[in-house]
């Protein structure tokens, strides 16, 4: 069989309707490498955007190995960041993240888009790549995460932006102001993400305790109230007002989860330092 026919056959197998056949083709390609170019490369990129996670993982490994050896693969992935297809843009950004030195700021828009993906695995993978970019390019990534947090209506993207800012250790006044705003967001998931950010402050922000006390005392969601009570245990504030609020929460008549969290935090704060 000629090399051209072999490539045609491989591309067909990579596009086969049966996911098991696609996985088998990817396994074979990983163990017996062939030139990754032309239609084989396009079929691999399609496999990377597959709805089947086993196909995605195998395709990612093959593309990463090929991209490390062949700049043509990296160039094709970079060009794909501009495609109208959101799944393909994400696939390209993810693949670039697997190739040493290939991920750059051009991947930021599809990564931010992926923070809103309904698939949690995609959201967390995108967050990890954004944090990696943010360590190399702190200012532009910080600015884009703040825009996603403050101007976007998507709950998933807003909460993931908060987690990314938290993981990057960003604590400047603009970030803290955005976190304070998020702590009063309409969606409870965003409020919980804001509390997660505040928990990591460990008392660094003077207004953090005020925010958390307000959530514990007035939030309409019992999960947020419980999380606020637990968060107080990490802020190193043993003042009278905090202890009094926790004691009141520990006696909450219709909220057993809040009572438990408040009592545990009281025990932690009232222990000898």
Q: How far is CA 231 from CA 5, 164, 168, 209, in A?
A: 62, 19, 20, 9
Q: How far is CA 180 from CA 167, 168, 215, 225, 247, in A?
A: 17, 17, 11, 16, 25
Dihedral angle at the C-alpha atoms of 80, 82, 87, 93, nearest 10 degrees? Answer: 60
To the question of domain 1-103 being in CATH 1.25.10.10, the answer is: yes
H-type alpha helices, 15-137: 19-31, 38-48, 53-69, 71-80, 86-97, 108-114, 120-136
Q: Longest C-alpha distance within the chain, in Å?
A: 82
Q: How far is CA 24 from CA 56, 111, 118, 232, in A?
A: 13, 29, 28, 52
Tokens coding 31: 């163990």
Tokens coding 240: 């009278």
pLDDT less than 50: residues of the chain: 1-5
Burial class (CB in 10 A: 0-12, 13-18, 19+), 268: middle
Cβ contact 162:182 at 8 Å: yes
Q: How far is CA 76 from CA 39, 67, 82, 90, 188, in A?
A: 12, 10, 11, 14, 40
Taking only the tens place, the pLDDT of each residue in 6-46 is 878 888 999 999 999 999 999 988 887 777 888 988 899 89
pTM, two decimals, is 0.89
Cβ contact 205:172 at 8 Å: no
The single-letter DSSP state of residue 171 is: -
Cβ contact 68:37 at 8 Å: no
> Per-domain residue ranges for the chain?
1-103
């Amino acid at each position: 069989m000629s090399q051209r026919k072999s490539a045609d056959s491989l591309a067909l197998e990579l596009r086969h309707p049966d996911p098991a056949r696609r996985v088998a083709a990817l396994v074979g390609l990983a163990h017996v490498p062939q030139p990754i170019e032309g239609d084989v490369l396009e079929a691999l990129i399609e496999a990377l955007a597959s709805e089947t996670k086993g196909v995605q993982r195998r395709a990612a490994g093959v593309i990463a190995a090929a991209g490390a050896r062949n700049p043509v693969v990296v160039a094709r992935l970079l060009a794909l960041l501009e495609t109208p297809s959101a799944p393909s843009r994400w696939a390209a950004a993810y693949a670039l993240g697997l190739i040493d030195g290939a991920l750059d700021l051009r991947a930021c828009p599809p990564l931010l888009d992926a923070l809103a993906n309904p698939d949690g695995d995609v959201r967390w993978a995108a967050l990890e790549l954004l944090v990696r970019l943010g360590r190399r390019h702190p200012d532009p990534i910080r600015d884009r995460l703040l825009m996603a947090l403050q101007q976007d209506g998507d709950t998933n993207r807003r909460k993931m932006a908060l987690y990314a800012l938290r993981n990057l250790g960003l604590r400047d006044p603009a970030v803290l102001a955005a976190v304070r705003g998020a702590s009063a967001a309409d969606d409870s998931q965003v409020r919980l993400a804001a509390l997660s950010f505040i928990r990591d402050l460990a008392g660094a922000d003077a207004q953090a305790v005020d925010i958390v006390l307000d959530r514990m005392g007035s939030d309409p969601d019992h999960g947020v109230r419980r999380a606020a009570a637990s968060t107080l245990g990490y802020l190193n504030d043993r003042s009278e007002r905090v202890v009094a609020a926790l004691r009141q929460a520990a006696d909450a008549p219709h909220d057993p989860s809040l009572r438990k969290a408040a009592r545990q935090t009281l025990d932690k704060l009232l222990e000898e330092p």
